Amino acid sequence: MNRSLRPLLATTLIFLLAYLLAVTQQPAMLSTRVLGNFLTDNAFLGIAAVGMTFVILSGGIDLSVGAVIGFTTVLIAVLIMWLDLHPLLAFAIALGVATGFGAVMGAAIHYLRVPSFIVTLAGMFLARGGASVLSPDSIGIDHAFYKVIQKSYVLLPGGGRLTVVGMIMLAVFAVAILLAHRTRFGSNVYALGGSETSAALMGVPVARTTIGIYALSGFLAGLSGVVFSLYTSAGYSLNALGVELDAIAAVVIGGTLLTGGYGFVAGTFIGVMLQGLVQTYIVFDGTLSSWWTKIVVGALLFMFILLQRLVFRAGPRRT
Amino acid sequence: MTRQTVDLRPNGQPPVPRPRPVAQVLMRPQVIALAAVLGVNWLLFPGFFSITWQDGRLFGSLIDVLNRGAPVAILAIGMTMVIATKGVDLSVGAVMAISGAVAATLVSAGVSAPVAVLAALAAGLLCGLWNGVLVTVLEIQPIIATLVLMVAGRGVAQLITEGTIVTFSDPVLIFIGTGAFLGLPMPVVIALVLMVAATLIVRRTALGLLIEAVGVNRSAARFAGLSAGAFLVAVYAFAGVCAAIAGLIVAGDIRGADANNAGLWLELDAILAVVIGGTSLLGGRFSIPMAVLGAIIIQAMNTGILISGFSPEFNLVVKAAVIVAILILQSPHAALLVRRLRGLQSGAGK
């Protein structure tokens, strides 16, 4: 068997086992309704996690994701409710701002030669602060377009609902898989994560790729903000607090190597679903308190990191 | 052996810094920045520097800045050492919540206060050891290794307090958070003692040099005969204990343990304090007193924004601006520019 596929396979297997275990405890969980809700409830996390996958594949990290989601929801709410723009125009503006924000962070990381950790930390402060300067209070969005979107869904066999939000996430994953594995940009991201020096010597445009990666992460965080806005019909500066951590956890659980250069976008999808499964199970059970989610996600994170170390024991070590 | 490893230092300074002239210390950018922030505060609020003596302790805005800044300063002391080894500890906020939860739960169960305090410190030590083992034995990147505890830690703290805010009226724990010693608030005294002790231990022995050696190049340090792994574990354990102390202070201050909010996002403030203090995120050169000064600068900015009537959220924008300014100043391009301006040959810069 292809050795490099092992972590992805392990993740898939663990997800299936966990789902099976959950179903034996709570038979009601085996339905397309639950699956449909999985997709809807985790759509914003999934979209943000795709951006994080590219960043981690390139050997970096993006801590600004949650803050950019929060900022986007506030910006959209302000544009729609205060300036009376059409939601689609507001979405376009918000996506543009988020992409530009990511591109600037990428440029700072490349040209100032500072760790992505600290640049995106500044980005996180700036986006959260900017959001609360725009509006410290939550702004409800009341618009006909939102109601139409929220009410449209595709009925799955078994009564499950595939909502627009869920479809956006699936589409993002599909495009991202093609982008990562079938385009030059994707190959450049992997090369950069393997070794920046070697990538530069091979002729990979390091500056353009780095800026592109963080712009992509910013764009997807913005899109995640759009989805969050559709999901909650509100803009609030403290929305999506700590989502960057959930996204990083999803990426790691999905089998992407933290040192960069190795991983699959599809794995991230399973990572997101596994986190959703833990949450749904705890809701179904009813007797477990919500803090168990944090502990279980932490334990999963640890388990997968351990797994990666075992699989890559013989591989290259970090310096 | 320590004399032989001098060459590991990037700038070739002698391992024990000689006492510098006062003027040179006062010209440090951090000191100038603090003076500027305090000056702005004084312009906004003319009574800023007035300090009064009442009920056997000092009162005043300046004392308040020190008191409120103490938890982050204590975190920054531990974080400085971790960052000097090229690592980072994201879990300190969660460890604060755990230590507060342990102390509060034990005290309200009737355990005597000293035992509860020791148990809380032991919990911090244990968390730090866990991080250290993950970083050294399993060779996981520090950001991710400590992320595990950052995610799971708050859950553990909530498990200990069973999801409630455990309040207590134990005089010893409350004294740690709000008491006064020689007129100074207890948190300030603890931070001061910890800073002086840590600085002396690190600078008067070879320890600081060895930590820098591990941070600059771990493999080289190992080849030079250092047990780099043991050092790393010890450094993370120290950061865990510092976080536990900060957690006790915060719990004593509000007379309760709030697993959700105790120390929330303080890890980022602590990292910021260390960066303001001039410690390189790439490992190596570090300074504990400067990191503490960084924590005081952050708190002085917080206080300034509060008394000037801006919303507290505005703080985040200011912090972001500060980070950007530091990054630009520290970047190789800025160094190149400075060198050019001074008219020196700029062959070495990149």
In a domain, B47, yes or no: no
**Encoded tokens for B304:** 């300034």
Is residue B40 a contact partner of residue B310, using CB atoms and an 8 Å limit? no
B153 to chain A: closest CA residue: A295
Phi, psi at A135, each rounded to 5°: -160, 115
Residues of chain A with Cβ-Cβ distance to B350 below 8 Å are: 113
Tokens encoding B56: 């056997």
pLDDT attached to residue B241: 95
Q: Is residue B165 part of a domain?
A: yes
pLDDT of residue B19: 57
Closest approach of A298 to chain B, Cα-based (Å): 5
Residue of A nearest to B275 (CA): A118
- Asked whether the beta carbons of A173 and A46 are under 8 A apart, the reply is yes
Distance of residue B350 Cα from the nearest chain A Cα, in angstroms? 10
Task: Over range B295-304, report the average pLDDT.
Answer: 88
pLDDT tens profile B3-45: 444 444 445 444 555 556 666 666 677 788 888 888 888 887 8
Structural domains for chain A: 3-311 (1.10.3470)
Check residue B347 and give its pLDDT. Answer: 47
Whole-number Å distance between alpha carbons of A142 and A61: 36
B253 burial (CB, 10 Å; 0-12 / 13-18 / 19+) is buried
Q: Which two tokens stand for residue A127?
A: 């986006």
Mean pLDDT calculated for residue range B301-324: 80
Distance CA B271, CA B279 (A): 10
Measure A149 CA to nearest chain B CA, in Å: 32
Mention every residue, 6+ apart, whose C-beta is less than 8 A from residue B6: B12, B14, B15, B209
Q: What is the pLDDT of residue A65?
A: 93
Q: In this model, does residue B99 exceed pLDDT 90? A: yes
| Closest by Cα among A14, A46, A308, A2 to A177 | A46
CB of A158 within 8 Å of any CB in chain B? no
In terms of Cα–Cα distance, which of A279, A225, A223 is closest to A249? A279
Report H helices in B162-287.
171-178, 186-204, 207-216, 218-223, 228-254, 266-276
The answer to whether residue A295 neighbours chain B at the CB level (below 8 Å) is yes
List Cβ neighbours of A198 (8 Å cut-off, separation of 6 or more).
Answer: A191
Using CA atoms, how far apart are residues B274 and B270, in angstroms rounded to an integer?
6
Report CB contact under 8 Å: B332, A121: no
Which pLDDT score is estimated for A311?
A: 66
Whether residue A291 and residue B158 make contact (CB cut-off 8 A), yes or no, is yes
Residue B271 with chain A: CB contacts under 8 Å = 118, 121
Residue given tokens 């595990």 in the structure block: B148
Q: How far does A133 lie from chain B, in Å, by closest CA?
A: 6
CA–CA distance from A119 to each of A124, A278, B266 (Å)?
A: 9, 32, 18
- Flag if A295 and B143 touch (Cβ within 8 Å): no
Task: Extract the residue ranges of chain A whose pLDDT is less than 70.
Answer: 1-4, 311-319
End-to-end CA distance of chain A: 29
Distance between CA atoms of residues A28 and A149, nearest Å? 28
CA–CA separation, B333 and B321 (whole Å): 19
What integer best gives the mean pLDDT of chain B?
A: 82
Instruction: Yes or no: say if B127 and B240 are a contact pair by the CB < 8 Å rule.
Output: yes
| Residue B348 pLDDT greater than 60, yes or no | no
Residues from chain B that touch A293, judged by Cβ atoms under 8 A, are 155
Cross-chain Cβ contact A118/B327 below 8 Å: yes
What does the alpha-carbon distance between residue A61 and residue B347 come to, in Å, rounded to a whole number? 32
- Work out the number of other CB atoms within 10 angstroms of the CB of residue B52: 9
Cα dist from A306 to A166, A244, B152, whole Å: 31, 21, 16
User: Does residue B5 belong to any structural domain of this protein?
Assistant: no
List of residues 6+ apart from B313 with CB closer than 8 A: A128, A129, A132, A133, A136, A237
Amino acid identity for residue A175 in this structure: V
Q: Which residues of B touch A299 (CB under 8 A)?
A: 152
For strands A153-155 and A161-163, give the pairing.
antiparallel
Q: In which residue are the tokens 């910013």 written?
A: A218
Give burial (CB, 10 Å; 0-12/13-18/19+) of B222.
middle
| B244 located within any domain | yes
* pLDDT at residue A39, rounded to an integer: 87
Model pLDDT for residues B229-239, shown as the tens digit of each residue:
888 899 999 99
Which of A260, A266, A267 lies closest to A210, judged by CA?
A260
**Cα angle, residue A175 at apex, residues A174 and A179 outer, rounded to 5°:** 120
> For chain B, what is the total number of helices (H) and then of strands (E)?
15, 6
| DSSP conformational letter for B184 | E
Ramachandran quadrant class, A263 (left: phi over 0; alpha: psi -120 to 50; beta: rest): left
Interface A-B, measured as beta-carbon pairs within 8 A, has a size of: 132
Classify the C-alpha dihedral A17-A21-A24-A29 as positive or negative.
Answer: negative
Q: Which residue has the tokens 């339905």?
A: A31
Q: Which residue of B134, B147, B319 is in closest CB contact with A245?
A: B147
CA–CA distance, A42 with A161 (Å, rounded to integer):
14
pLDDT tens digits for range A13-66: 888 888 888 888 888 878 888 888 888 889 999 999 999 999 999 988 898 999
- Collect all residues of chain A within an 8 Å Cβ-Cβ radius of residue B158: 289, 291, 294
* pLDDT for the residue B168: 85
**Domain span at B198:** 34-41+65-309
Instruction: Kindly determine whether residue A132 and residue B88, on different chains, have CB atoms separated by under 8 Å.
Output: no
Domain assignment present for B232:
yes
Collect all residues of chain B within an 8 Å Cβ-Cβ radius of residue A252: 144
Cβ proximity of A221 and A102 under 8 Å: yes
Q: pTM score > 0.90 for this model?
A: no
DSSP element (H, E) containing A216: helix A206-232
Output the DSSP codes for B117-182: HHHHHHHHHHHHHHHHHHHHTS---HHHHHHHHHHHHHHHHHHHHTTS-EE---HHHHHHHH-EET
Q: Domain of B300: which CATH number? A: 1.10.3470
Q: Is A252 on the interface with B (CB under 8 A)?
A: yes
Best CA proximity match to A72, nearest among A52, A51, A44: A44
The neighbouring-strand residues paired with A140 are A234
CA distance B150 to chain A (A): 8
pLDDT > 90 fraction of chain B, expressed in percent and rounded: 25
Q: What per-residue string of b and e applies to B118-135 under the rule 16 or more CB within 10 Å gives b?
A: ebbbebbbbbbebbbbbb
Max CA distance (Å), chain B: 70
Q: How far lies B120's CA from each of B168, B191, B349, in Å?
A: 15, 17, 48
Work out the minimum CA distance from B17 to partner chain A, whole angstroms.
28
| pLDDT tens-place string over residues B71-89 | 999 999 999 999 988 888 9
Which sign does the torsion angle of CA B155, B159, B163, B166 carry? negative
Q: Do A291 and B155 touch (CB under 8 A)?
A: yes
B272: nearest CA partner in chain A: A118
B97 domain residue, yes or no: yes
Integer CA distances (angstroms), B87 to B82, B208, B215, in order = 5, 15, 8
Give the mean pLDDT of B107-133: 92
Domains held by chain B: number? 1
What pLDDT does residue B343 have? 65
User: At B35, which amino acid appears?
Assistant: A
